[in-house]
Chain A
Amino acid sequence: MLWLYLHFPHLLLDHIRRHQTSTGALAIVDGAGHFVVQACPTARDLGIETGMRLKTALGLAPDLNIMRADPKQEAWLLEDQARWLYHYAAHITLAPPDGIWAEVSSLQKLYGGLPAIWQTVEQALTERQLTAWVAIGHTPSAAQLLAHTGKGECTADKGHILNAVGKLPLLTAGFDKKSCTRLQRLGLSTLGEVFALPAAELARRLSPELLAIVQKIQGTRADPKAPWQPPHTFRQRADFLQEVEHSQGLLFSLQRILAELEEDLCWRQQDTDTLRLILQHRHEEPTRLRVRTTGPEHRAEVFLKLIQLKLDQQPLRSPVTGLILAVKRFTGREAPIGQDLLGETQDLNEAWHTLISRLQARLGEQALKQLAPREDHRPECAWSASDVRKPGKSPKGVSGQLPHRPLWLLKGPRPLLQTPVAWHSGPERISGGWWDGQRVHRDYYIAQLPGGELAWVFRDVQDGWFIHGWFG
């Protein structure tokens, strides 16, 4: 078996720089805010090093951008990396906080050799502007050790790999401090010298745990790695160094995230109809936005337009420090139908969804309604408004049984103030609603008012006269 290990020396730094247009000096500090943990190349040019006190760093570069390391966020980021790597390799195991294993011996045939795999991964890393140290080892531990030194080589030769591992100093091997000191006192300084010791003696004189580590590196002891499963959701986040005050400033990051979403959906062969956008503020509760398309969709540009509309409608409450885009609902993709070979006929179905989504995004979902008759004798209950849905192909043949009704119904009955000039039809007695407390007992007439309009008027039990509709 061969293992490929990716070590991300400064994942958080890469992540932040991807979402930034400006490139100032940037450093990540530890949770307490005392020491520099990661420094970007610009910062390193200014003399800032990892492990340096923050005060010293600020002395060297007064306008240094600082970001605090967050273990939770690092875990998220690592998962992100696993997700794209999963496109290339099936058996992936995470090595928190900053590494990923991928089993590659089974992939050699697919890609046509180890160098091709190596190249594919390197290319994917460059595309994503990530820094990673890659190494191949015959055991997971060997690959990890080699990757940490940054001297990984593309080789499948076990002897060569063991040779390279053997040259590594003891301190990098991950032994506990006490054993390390003891080994050093024995006069050993590289791993290779430890490998040369007899196993039984090593276990007896030092510790069985140390032997286990050594054997795992050598490959004489099994070191199973549970395969990682990609989550069934999509979640990406962007963090901003400078707070973003206008929604325009979010678009750059959104574009990148949506492009990744499109790629992800393409790869899954799925669509989605709901995006959840969470905007984080420094002092306030995060703003949660729900962007809905009317139909399944996967194109980044469509999502971007909808989000733009939504953001235009809802100005930012306060400056944004970070945003998260999450997708939880996925639907299978339907094969496009009705499009001819040359693509000349427009896909009306798609155009309908696009139009309705655009309208809903700007006006709100309640602004668009579809009407339907309902079976009730009371005029105000005989219709219903529902959310817009794609028209089906089932015309209901009810038109024959419906009574004569006006085309306009008033939102509520309005008192009849003028004396009608002509009476045309009536009375039609409508009485009902005793079952739900909204009792109606009325006599309806069709009458012409002095202005020439044809009204649907009724008289209620108290002898009051009201207009309830117009025959438009």
Chain B
Amino acid sequence: MKQIEPIATGATKVTSKQMEFVTVTVAGQLLGLPISRVHDVFVVSEMTTVPLAPGEIAGLLNLRGRVVTAVSLRRRLGLGDSTSVERRMAVGLENHGEAYGLLVDEVGEVLKLDPDEMQPNPVHMDRGWVGLSQGVHQLHDKLLIVLDVDAVLAFETEREAA
């Protein structure tokens, strides 16, 4: 994984309160996943699409002998599929004993952020996004949305209710 220059101003100072986030990019938007939830980051090679599956599910992956369900973060956020198909990155997550791979455009570095500095979602943020976001961190040149991993992986229940 390539190293990205630290962007956050407060990231250099280490306090006990700080939480670590794995940053990912989807359609130019910076998002953070709590590092405690991230198992690994891997390059997606071959993926088996599942016919009749919910749109959010991109397919199934073989990750070292384990079948992993690939969830497209783009589709989860209501965005169109990426046009470039060079190398797809995925963040390995675990939820209720099942392995998931969250497909993202790019994986960035790990940031240390102070939870106290997190700000609530802007009121006019897209409804679909609000449900998946825990809040927003202001970095010096960008905004980072803190993803709620459980919410990101909780689409099936929504679907059934609908």
Chains A and B form a bound pair: no
